[in-house]
Amino acid sequence: MSKFDTSIQLIYVLAAACFVIGLHLMNSPATARRGNQISTIGMVIAGIATLILLIHSRTVTGVGWAVLLVGAAVGSAIGLYSAQTVQMTAMPQLVSMFNSVGGGAAALIAIYEYMHDESLAGGVLGTTTVTAVLDVIIGAVTFSGSIVAAGKLQGMIPGQPLIFKGSRLVNVALAVVAIGTAAFLMTTPSLPALFVMLLAALAFGVMMVLPIGGADMPVVISLLNACTGTAVAMAGFVISNWALIVAGALVGASGGILTKLMADAMNRSLANIIVGGFGTGDSAVAIGPGDSQAQVRSIAADDAAIQLAYASKVIIVPGYGLAAAQAQHGVAELAALLESRGIEVSYAIHPVAGRMPGHMNVLLAEANVPYPQLVEMDEINPEFARTDVALVIGANDVTNPAARRPGTAISGMPILDVDQAKSIIVVKRSMGHGYAGLDNELYVNPKTSMYFADAKRAMSELTAAVKTLVG
């Protein structure tokens, strides 16, 4: 290794250290911002080192520079624009798209190196083949899988599990093609075989995510994030670049741990989610929709406002409905109004409420809800028994008492003990099912009143009604 190469590698190690320290500081809200800044500094250092390497190589052509700089400018503009304009509620989709392009870029690096090496006299080295093949497979699966995941969250692809007859067979066939061509490549360098493998992996990514229900998307996005990291590490092997290897492995491992934490919070195994299809039919539906309609009590804004205004303790249970309706500011206003009347208000945060763990925290933080009011599930569950009104806003499966019984799609998933409250108001647009496709037994509880409205409208109606009521 020349003196120059050594210095560049050392600078890359410095960048990698910044990533590690940055990630470590993400362990606490107090230091998280500094963590992100340090990680950004690491990225800038790595970027500068790469530019120096490019200039020093003296082999980048004029066209090459134009291609790289224009490409980087276009990509940066797209990334900057989408990151600055995205609604907080659409954050998960955007993270998924960034996973997609990251995985795609990693796969392209391997494809390029493979093409380039094959054109050389020495051909493709065995070790390059192994890592390039892994990179292309993981990168391509992440690329197409993440697009499908984002499409599901955006509502462009139906959120419910999509399974057609023989879809499992197609999956197996695609996997066999991908692994088969990969094995073939180990003995015979062949560009066409690499492309066949690429196409099979892309198709497999689509087929892998399509049958997964919307409720599992947070876990899937986290898993795909870890996959992107691994693909980047493989790209690092292909081009022997330490920065890519270290950063990719860091993300692969921490993303894997994060995925496991999320799956644990839903009490589901990763295998179960992937093989999955939440609510695809084998679980018995507890209550027929016809029967439940008869027992459901609906409530008007005025009555709900009376209950809230004369309560002494209210727990708000936010769910995806709140995020979808962008009702975080409305709910914060209602809560502030109730608090000004001396009512104790807190928010019960289920670990997987919304579409990403911590999604509710981010949204409510955006609406300036004081941090101490957000209480995690284990802490708040004993509080429900002392609560006058539990106000459930667009949360469904995480409140369904059916989870306590065996034999349903959500059995064993820890839930919020909303049914322990003295009375329950559920704000929901319709009697529609949650992602698990189950009827929610909470809605037919005699203590429950249903307030059928979009969460944002419901919040402004309730706030107005409470104001008129108490003058």
Binding characters for another protein, 102-131, by CB under 8 A (x = yes):
x-xxx-xx-xx--xx----------x----
Token match 């109606």: residue?
A: 461
Handedness of CA 387, 392, 397, 402 (dihedral sign): positive
The verdict on 387 binding another protein (CB under 8 A) reads no
For residues 89 and 97, is the Cβ–Cβ distance under 8 A? no
Here the tokens at position 360 are 């509710």
H-type alpha helices, 277-371: 289-295, 301-309, 320-324, 328-340, 359-366
- For another protein, the closer CB: 16 or 315: 16
Contacts to another protein from residues 25-54, by CB under 8 A: 26-30, 32-33, 35-36, 39-40, 43, 46-47, 49-51, 53-54
CB of 122 to another protein, least distance (A): 14
CB of 15 to another protein, least distance (A): 8
CB of 105 to another protein, least distance (A): 4
CB of 65 to another protein, least distance (A): 7
Q: What are phi and psi of 442, to 5 degrees?
A: -60, -35
Cα distances (Å, whole numbers) of residue 14 to 40, 236, 360: 12, 16, 35
Q: How far apart (Å, rounded) are the C-alpha atoms in residues 176 and 62?
A: 43
- For another protein, the closer CB: 29 or 407: 29
Inter-helix orientation angle 301-309/455-470, to 10°: 60
The verdict on 351 binding another protein (CB under 8 A) reads yes
- # of chain residues touching another protein (CB under 8 A): 118
- For another protein, the closer CB: 214 or 357: 357
The verdict on 369 binding another protein (CB under 8 A) reads yes
**Among 52, 101, 162, 274, contact with another protein (rule: CB under 8 A):** 101
For residues 159 and 210, is the Cβ–Cβ distance under 8 A? no
The verdict on 385 binding another protein (CB under 8 A) reads no
Active-site residue, 282 included: no
DSSP structure class, residue 107? H
CB of 451 to another protein, least distance (A): 28
The verdict on 349 binding another protein (CB under 8 A) reads yes
CB of 390 to another protein, least distance (A): 21
- For another protein, the closer CB: 91 or 338: 91
* Catalytic site residue from 135, 216, 397, 417: 397
The verdict on 277 binding another protein (CB under 8 A) reads no
The verdict on 431 binding another protein (CB under 8 A) reads no
Question: Residue 59, SS3?
Answer: coil
For residues 103 and 139, is the Cβ–Cβ distance under 8 A? yes
For residues 60 and 54, is the Cβ–Cβ distance under 8 A? yes
Catalytic residues: 397
